[in-house]
Amino acid sequence: MKYTKDQVNKMREIMATRDVEQCDEGTLFDVFMEGCTGWGNFDDDFVIVEFENHYGKHYFSAQNP
């Protein structure tokens, strides 16, 4: 794996924070009505692909350890 377990867990935290920041009342209503799968429940490979799609493949370079 090209990322450490700590980095993948950090990706989960960053993606969850991004989702919270982008939520509006309609989204929150849907979550409370229908539920959702949290980032902690997705496979590592899915998290990595989604993270790289949003933040690029070089996020964990020297400036973002």
Report whether pLDDT(16) > 90. Answer: yes
Report whether pLDDT(33) > 70. Answer: yes
DSSP 38: -
Residue 61 resides in a domain:
no
Domain that holds residue 35: 5-55
Q: For the chain, give the percent of residues with pLDDT over 70.
A: 92
Q: pLDDT tier at 61 (50, 70, 90 boundaries)? A: confident
Q: How far is CA 20 from the centre of its chain?
A: 11
pLDDT of residue 63: 60
Q: Secondary structure of the chain: what % helix, strand, coil (to 5)?
A: 65, 0, 35
Residue 35 resides in a domain:
yes
Q: pLDDT tier at 53 (50, 70, 90 boundaries)? A: very high
Report whether pLDDT(60) > 60. Answer: yes
- Calculate the dihedral angle through the C-alpha atoms of 29, 32, 33, 35, rounding to the nearest 10 degrees: 120
Residue 64 resides in a domain:
no
Residue 11 resides in a domain:
yes
Q: What total number of domains does the chain contain?
A: 1
Residue 48 resides in a domain:
yes
